[in-house]
Amino acid sequence: MSVYQKEYQLAQTAPQDFWQQQAQKLPWYQFPQTILSKDENGIERWFADGELNTCYLALDQHVEAGRGDQTALIYDSPVTGTKVQYSYQVLRDQVAKTAGMLAELGVVKGDRVVIYMPMIPEAAMAMLACARIGAIHSVVFGGFAPNELAVRIEDAEPKLVLTASCGIEVNKVIPYKPLVDLAIMDSRWKPEHVVVFQRNACRAELTEERDRDWQMLKQKADMYPCVPVKATDPLYILYTSGTTGKPKGVVRDNGGHAVAMKYSMETVYAVDPGDVFWAASDVGWVVGHSYIVYGPLIHGCTTVMFEGKPVKTPDPAAFWRVCNDYGVKVLFSAPTTFRAIKKEDPEGAMLVDYPMPKLKAIYMAGERLDPPTLEWVQEKTQRPVIDHWWQTETGWAIAGNPVGLESFAIKPGSATIPIPGYGVVVLDETGEEKQANQQGYIAIKRPLPPGCLPTVWRNHDRFQSGYLSQFPGYYVSGDGGYLDDEGYLFVMGRIDDVINVAGHRLSTGEMEEVVGGHEAVAECAVIGIHDDLKGQLPLGLVVLKDGYYSENGAIEKELLQKVRSEIGAVACFNRALVVDRLPKTRSGKILRRVIRQIADGEQYVVPSTIDDPSSLSEIEKVIN
Ligand code: COA
Ligand code: AMP
């Protein structure tokens, strides 16, 4: 048996022994006696009676071990022309003061804190400060509109909202404070305070009684110690798109998460303490939580926070420069990133100036890694490109190339093999396992390994019905795909209404709710269609109510603006078309799959259940 096979089998057959061994690699305040148990909902929980503090693991343990002078975080911001490095000692002290600031404002263990911030070190400090106190953070991506922020504030009921005066997108300054004000106005839940980090590019006016100035408060704050929490206490809630308009609050607990982070840094990324690890994402996404903040710091690496884009800040060499200048060992981003670089520098000419001596491998996730992108990056950088598949719900890779154990040959189009801890299977509609090479629902046998969500915030029924009920004994991922006869996993795409736009997960169902809310719209369908750069883009097809007419595309423009202001620019809802009717089955179901196939120029079979086949040729005419 190979090293991987042995480890995979052990994790499947003796999960308690396996994860107990992994847990021993961390300094707990109280090591768990119970490794795996069930909670009141019948959900498997890891390390229930263990006590620890995630901020202690990320910072203090390294300082106490004499590694306080090592760089913990590198902030590189081409949009502001700033480069700063924080040692573990300095970062620990900054975080302790930030925690002191939160405590002064009354935040205690279990309270929620919403963080709506750009990619600046204070965003990471805020997350770690919450972890230090035992408060539960919920970071909201800066590209989301006030309405999205409001929905999250209403669901999480935070004591505070932490924000910055602005974000900077290439050369566009986006004031955040007015967005936060609008969100709070719309939300039924009102936080006690909004704490604003003032940036030079645009200062916010703090007019409301509830508003506070971050820098002033922090200056006066005392350093706050780490508060022990139970392994099963939540560390954070991260909202992600589902099939309905309401996002799901994925809950991550402290203990399982810490163990999974440590294990994945060793097994999936094969880095050592002291190595420089760069996840080029945003703290608003799960990649940012796991691999900008928690994973690298818990493992004692140096992490990079980059406030810029792969292109235009200032050029497509930005990523190579960062890898070169800071000695990055592992780079992790979404395939879109590299398609954007390839578009502007197809020959990879800019790589010549940046030998990147320490770069060992490039990891990708967030969307399907298309073989041409894989091949281009591999050829131009001469580094292995490793695809790995995971989700907000799991927090770490379900399938990948476990190079920390042994390296597997790469098959283009495959995320390689299941990572130890994940019993990955492909099921048919009845829950029977499919044979090799046959597509079906990708599911994971319970128990899920440490780190995966135990519930949806204050909506356990949604966890049960959305993930666990369809196939008893399994977690259903929402992705379809197959295992080949060598056990390689091919993830082919979502089987629900979730789409991936530039590695960002969005719900077409939610966009339909927004579009359908326009007074002129009788019905609509939003589908994800192929895009060479962003992987997928939403396309809206709308049928207008009798008596409405879209003069010079005026209604279409209003719809684009409506989605932009209610969901955010990040939705990239840039195309809406008025049609006379939508193709449907006789029972009234919109034929979304066929519409997508038409839009993508694929061959399609006219379903036998179609109500009126001529509706398809109309759609063909409008789309093309
Ligand atoms: N705050 C405010 N607005 C934001 C934002 C943020 N944090 N992030 C994105 N936006 C806005 C952009 O300004 C843009 O607005 P516009 O339509 O007014 O121009 C819109 O949302 C779409 O942004 P984006 O998807 O970033 O598109 P882009 O054309 O500006 O850049 C790429 C294209 C490929 C360079 C970019 O999508 C990218 O870097 N992708 C990688 C994504 C990634 O790292 N994903 C993480 C998963 S691991
Ligand atoms: P998110 O929760 O935002 O990380 O999005 C998770 C979804 O992104 C998954 O359910 C997949 O649909 C998709 N995804 C992530 N990584 C990959 C990958 N390596 N290959 C294919 N799809 C992926």
537: domain CATH number is: 3.30.300.30
Contact 428, 386 (CB under 8 A): no
* 447 preceded by a cis bond (ω within 30 of 0): yes
Atom of ligand 2 nearest to the CA of 478: 10
Q: What is the pLDDT of residue 245?
A: 73
Within the chain, which residues score under 50 in pLDDT? Answer: none
Rg for the chain, CA atoms, rounded: 24
Residues contacting 56, CB < 8 A, separation 6+ = 27, 132, 226
In a domain, 317, yes or no: no
In a domain, 335, yes or no: no
3-state secondary structure of 368: coil
Q: Which ligand has the nearest atom to the CA of 386?
A: 2
Q: What is the pLDDT of residue 242?
A: 81
Q: What is the pLDDT of residue 6?
A: 97
Residue from 441, 491, 492 whose mutation best tests the ligand 2 pocket (most atoms within 8 A of CB): 491
Please provide the average confidence, as pLDDT, over all residues in the chain: 97
Atom of ligand 2 nearest to the CA of 287: 4
- The reply to whether ligand 1 has any atom less than 6 angstroms from the CB of 309 is yes
Q: Tell me, yes or no, whether 185 and 247 share the same domain.
A: yes
In a domain, 593, yes or no: yes
- Structure tokens of 187? 């939300």
Q: Tell me, yes or no, whether 513 and 414 share the same domain.
A: no
* 372 preceded by a cis bond (ω within 30 of 0): no
pLDDT, one tens digit per residue, over 528-579 is 999 999 999 999 999 999 999 999 999 999 999 999 999 999 999 999 999 9
What pTM was estimated for this model as a whole?
Answer: 0.96
Q: Tell me, yes or no, whether 226 and 288 share the same domain.
A: yes
Nearest CA to ligand 2 atom 9: 391
Q: Which of 481, 516, 551 is the last residue of a domain?
A: 481
- The reply to whether ligand 1 has any atom less than 6 angstroms from the CB of 98 is no
Q: Tell me, yes or no, whether 512 and 473 share the same domain.
A: no
Q: In angstroms, what is the span from residue 6 Cα to ligand 1's centroid?
A: 42
Atom of ligand 1 nearest to the CA of 118: 7
Atom of ligand 1 nearest to the CA of 311: 35
- The reply to whether ligand 2 has any atom less than 6 angstroms from the CB of 367 is yes
326: alpha, beta or left? (left if phi > 0; alpha if psi -120 to 50)? alpha
Read off the DSSP letter of residue 349: G
Pairing of strands 440-445, 474-483: antiparallel
- The reply to whether ligand 2 has any atom less than 6 angstroms from the CB of 536 is no
Strand partners, 456: 250
Q: Of 192, 131, 132, nearest to 162 (Cα)? A: 192
Contact 552, 564 (CB under 8 A): no
In a domain, 186, yes or no: yes
- The reply to whether ligand 2 has any atom less than 6 angstroms from the CB of 288 is no
Q: Which ligand has the nearest atom to the CA of 453?
A: 2
The enclosing H or E element of 505 equals strand 504-507
Q: In angstroms, what is the span from residue 158 Cα to ligand 2's centroid?
A: 28
Q: Which of 481, 516, 544 is the last residue of a domain?
A: 481
Q: Tell me, yes or no, whether 181 and 135 share the same domain.
A: yes
In a domain, 340, yes or no: no
Q: What is the pLDDT of residue 207?
A: 85
Number of other residues whose CB lies within 10 A of the CB of residue 345? 17
Q: Which ligand has the nearest atom to the CA of 288?
A: 1
Read off the DSSP letter of residue 454: S
pLDDT, one tens digit per residue, over 377-413 is 999 999 999 999 999 999 999 999 999 999 999 999 9
Q: Of 298, 226, 251, 232, nearest to 29 (Cα)? A: 226
Q: Tell me, yes or no, whether 408 and 547 share the same domain.
A: no
Q: Tell me, yes or no, whether 86 and 42 share the same domain.
A: yes
Q: What is the pLDDT of residue 608?
A: 87
Expressed as residue numbers, the domain containing 257 is 3-308+388-481
- The reply to whether ligand 1 has any atom less than 6 angstroms from the CB of 521 is no
Q: What is the pLDDT of residue 618?
A: 87
Q: Tell me, yes or no, whether 130 and 208 share the same domain.
A: yes
Q: Tell me, yes or no, whether 522 and 471 share the same domain.
A: no
In a domain, 51, yes or no: yes
pLDDT, one tens digit per residue, over 17-35 is 999 999 999 999 999 999 9
- The reply to whether ligand 1 has any atom less than 6 angstroms from the CB of 333 is yes
Q: Tell me, yes or no, whether 508 and 462 share the same domain.
A: no
The number of folded domains in the chain is 2
Q: Which ligand has the nearest atom to the CA of 480?
A: 2
- The reply to whether ligand 1 has any atom less than 6 angstroms from the CB of 572 is yes
Residue from 364, 500, 507 whose mutation best tests the ligand 2 pocket (most atoms within 8 A of CB): 500
Q: What is the pLDDT of residue 246?
A: 85
Write out the DSSP string of 534-603: TEEEEEEEEEEPTT---GGGHHHHHHHHHHHHHT-GGG----EEE-S---BBTT--B-HHHHHHHHTT--
Atom of ligand 1 nearest to the CA of 282: 46
Q: In angstroms, what is the span from residue 351 Cα to ligand 1's centroid?
A: 23
CATH of residue 136 = 3.40.50.12780
- The single-letter code of the amino acid at 542 is V
In a domain, 331, yes or no: no
Rounded Cα gap, residues 178 and 46, in angstroms: 41
Q: Tell me, yes or no, whether 48 and 110 share the same domain.
A: yes
Q: Would you give the end-to-end CA distance of the chain in angstroms?
A: 54
**List of E strands, 82-207:** 82-87, 112-116, 136-139, 160-164, 166-169, 172-175, 193-197
Q: Residue 541 burial (CB < 10 Å; 0-12/13-18/19+)? A: buried
Residues contacting 438, CB < 8 A, separation 6+ = 426, 482
Q: Which of 412, 446, 481 is the last residue of a domain?
A: 481
Contact 508, 538 (CB under 8 A): yes
Residue from 370, 444, 505 whose mutation best tests the ligand 2 pocket (most atoms within 8 A of CB): 505
- Structure tokens of 174? 């986006």
In a domain, 36, yes or no: yes
Q: Tell me, yes or no, whether 184 and 247 share the same domain.
A: yes
Rounded Cα gap, residues 423 and 429, in angstroms: 18
Atom of ligand 2 nearest to the CA of 364: 19
Contact 47, 32 (CB under 8 A): yes
- The reply to whether ligand 2 has any atom less than 6 angstroms from the CB of 497 is no
